[in-house]
Chains A and B, each alone.
Chain A
Amino acid sequence: MKESLSIVVSGEAGQGLATIEEFLVEALSMEYYVFTSKEVMSRVRGGNNTFELRVATSPIHSLRKTIDYLFLLNNNSFYRLPKRLLPTTVVFGEDAFVSVEEKEKYSLKYEILELTKLAKEAGSRMFANTILFGYIAGMLELNVKVAEHLITKRFIHRGEPIVADNISAFTKGYELGLAYEATLKLKKPASVPPFKVIDGNTALGIGLLGGGINYLSSYPMSPGTSVMMYLTNKADEFGVLVEQAEDEIAALNMALGASYAGARSMVTTSGGGFALMTEAVSLAGIIETPAVIHVAQRPGPATGLPTRTEQGDLNLVVYAGHGEFPRIILSPGKLEDGVLLAQKAFWLADKYQVPVFILSDQYWLESLGQMTSFELSEQYMESFTVISDKDYKRYQLTDDGISPRAIPGFGEGFVKVDSDEHDESGQITEDFDVRIAMQNKRMNKRELLLADYQDAELIGPKNYKKLLVGWGSTYGVLKEFIETTSLSDVAYLYVKQPFPLPTSLKSYFDQAQQVVVVENNYTGQFANILTLELGVNVTDRVNKYNGEPFFIEELNEQLGEVLK
């Protein structure tokens, strides 16, 4: 485990936790390595929500289970957390937030911090969050100028006096934090390169814009909605037609209609909503109309745990839709890949005329981390459409199975697409020979599209004997394991495209005597795919399915057992 401080702030929905989190992560990012993630209950007010801010001396992208500093914001914010305490944990809060009995039971190191009182002294209860920001910033001796700049940026639209009041509230908190004799300290790294602090939602949103998205139709469902909200906010500036559909069935059918008519279109949803889209996925398969589908996973079955995380829908997207047709599934684990894969999704969908999935999850979407700046190339904006001539046939049989795609209204020809089996012109047919020709043509793309397979990344020693495998959001925690383990013969294969898999991927498994697939689900869905598609002998599986992501200590322990 990397050297780090784990700071948890625990309160209730509606208390503005997200604001404190954003302030802190931005300020910390200048002087430390930092990663933060929230866990919230499925309610708008009340309950108990927390965020964990992990501060480190080297790059990190994962969470600790244990807490060093715990800040309580009300008397309902402690009860879920005792399991995460260490003997060294310091708890901050009003005296009454934790009962005398509990303080004794857990031998708490309890520091009185009366945020509400301090805020009232500063002029209003509203300042409690800013004071807490100041307090934590003070404890860590963060640069005051940076913090003041962040506060100004956030509040300037509400006027100078509000900015000034918040800065003085911050200063008050900062002085108290500075005065606090911290028992747990973390040396500042000599220097930290400039990072962009970003969450998965934003990473995807930027990538989608870079891929040329100009049409989005979706029906709200957490955690898939944030991408819709991001793009709606950018709609004017970038030219995106966003339409909230009446249901998910409409959403994907609309996206396909838009795509047919020449848009770069997509939908964003979660497992339950996606389940309603499956017939249209199949439609995309037969009409060979590009579509990008973002599925943000949360634990099922059914409504499951609406605000929690899981990797339980890989099978769903691999098999969704009746009949047989090719598809591509991309799953980012690194923030950079969120941007890059989202951009590439449209290009792939256009190039191969297949549905392309971006499979993410609540944890990955809503965690904030540091990303190195880079630039997107225009390459993936390439459109593969043609202008039709008089004799245009939408499903012309070609050598490689890809028929030139024209857009209705552009050219002299007609663009006829049909969910029934069709001939080259798009006309309905029941001719068995034509059926075979068309099915062969479509299925041929399954091999073809592997030419653009998004390569997996090997992290760790080349001469490994044991191979850990993960896809998507387990990236951060598995990488930290590899970077800190004392075992010298373990490497980690970070898979970015879990389906379909090229045979070349098999070579990674040749030298592995042990293959451990780590997944945030019950059955090990990707492990099964590896065996089914490539014949990989998966020796062990490590799974977690309580609704939380893997914590690094947990993984250390579980892998410690398995890798013996």
Chain B
Amino acid sequence: MSKFDFKHDIDIAWCPGCGNFPLRTAILKALEELNLDQTQVVFSSGIGQAAKMPQYIDASYFNGLHGRGLSVAQAIQSVNPKLVVIAEGGDGDMYGEGGNHFLHNVRRNPNLAHIVHNNMIYGLTKGQGSPTSPKGLKTTTQVSGVYNEPLNPVALALALGASFVGRAFTGDVEKTKEIIKAAIAHEGYAIVDIFHPCVTYNKVNTFAWYKNNSYWLNQEEHNAQDFGAAMNLALNQEKFALGILYQNKEKTPFHKAHPYYVNDSTPLVDRPKRDITKVNALLK
């Protein structure tokens, strides 16, 4: 049992058999094993079934607007870099509605873990196509099948210069947990795209489909520092590679690169109150 789990029963809004359950287990375990101080962890999420995750973890959270979880997380982290900040949401939330924030926060390289539940569908709104839905998938709004090319989030993150790129599948909770742990421990922006089946609305990308169409990298053999190798894995979508595709520990995180922190690493929230006499000097 994780201290991040509730001590009382909670009413979880996911469908029985949904991949969000094992993912929750993986996150709870990761937090526990990293031995994090519960009061120093903050989740930031948007809206969607995935984005409800923080409701089911006993820590602080900012459950904001659809698509904006990453922006909020980045700001929280930048005013208090001591916090462990996790941005979480679904494929629609983070890649669709929040796409622009995804692009630009990779550039910022904030020290946070970005967990994206990728079920290749819009769950909460009852089964519309998402940015990652495969071609041909029949949905409630693409009734004859999806016709647009799906987004490749890991290749995109790599191309943008993300300092940590991982992919997991909830079919293996242990391995998923390890990647989440590595993402949290990474100093900088760390995205983990997590495959999980939506048992209610995605009848194509089922548990079996994910299992048959993915494989776990041998982390010993794969050199995660090798950008070219990572990109090759990311672009190869015949079978999806799972694991830590890429990690660059050299890239300066936002809270060390921003001019506010360059000469003084004291978190914004810990700095002394402004001296009003200095402001009054401006009025002279």
Contact = CB atoms under 8 A, between A and B. Distances in A.
A239 B274 contact: yes
Contacts of B55: 418, 427-428
B268 A280 contact: no
B52 interface: yes
B75 A246 contact: no
A215 interface: yes
Contacts of B38: 414
A238 interface: yes
A416 B56 CA distance: 12
Contact of B72 (A215, A257, A376, A377): A257
Contacts, number: 175
B3 to A, nearest CB: 12
B47 A246 contact: no
A256 B71 CA distance: 10
B127 to A, nearest CB: 21
Given A212-B274, A257-B71, A419-B65, A239 B79 contact: no
Contacts of B273: 212, 381
Interface string B177-189: 0000000000000
Interface size class of B (residues with CB under 8 A): 35 or more
A259 B240 CA distance: 40
B39 A209 contact: no
Contacts of A428: 52, 55, 63
A411 interface: yes
Contacts of B101: 246, 250
Interface stretch (B145-153, B221-229, B275-283): B275-283
Given A283-B64, A417-B63, A263 B268 contact: yes
Given A246-B100, A408-B83, A412-B39, A378 B64 contact: no
A263 B269 contact: yes
Contacts of B79: 214-215, 241, 258, 261-263, 265
Contacts of B72: 253-254, 256-257, 260
B113 to A, nearest CB: 16
A378 B278 CA distance: 11
A375 B279 CA distance: 9
B64 A206 contact: no
Nearest to B69: A253
A417 B73 CA distance: 13
A260 B258 CA distance: 20
Interface string A237-248: 111111101110
Given A253-B65, A255-B75, A376-B279, A381 B274 contact: yes
A414 B75 contact: no
Interface string B73-90: 111101110110000000
A253 B64 contact: yes
Contact of A241 (B82, B258, B278): B258
B44 interface: yes
A374 interface: yes
B60 A408 contact: yes
Contacts of A420: 47, 63
B42 A408 contact: yes
5 contacts: A246-B104, A249-B100, A261-B79, A373-B283, A418-B55
Interface of A: 196, 206, 209-210, 212, 214-215, 217, 235-243, 245-247, 249-250, 253-258, 260-263, 265, 279-280, 283, 287, 339, 373-378, 381, 407-420, 426-428
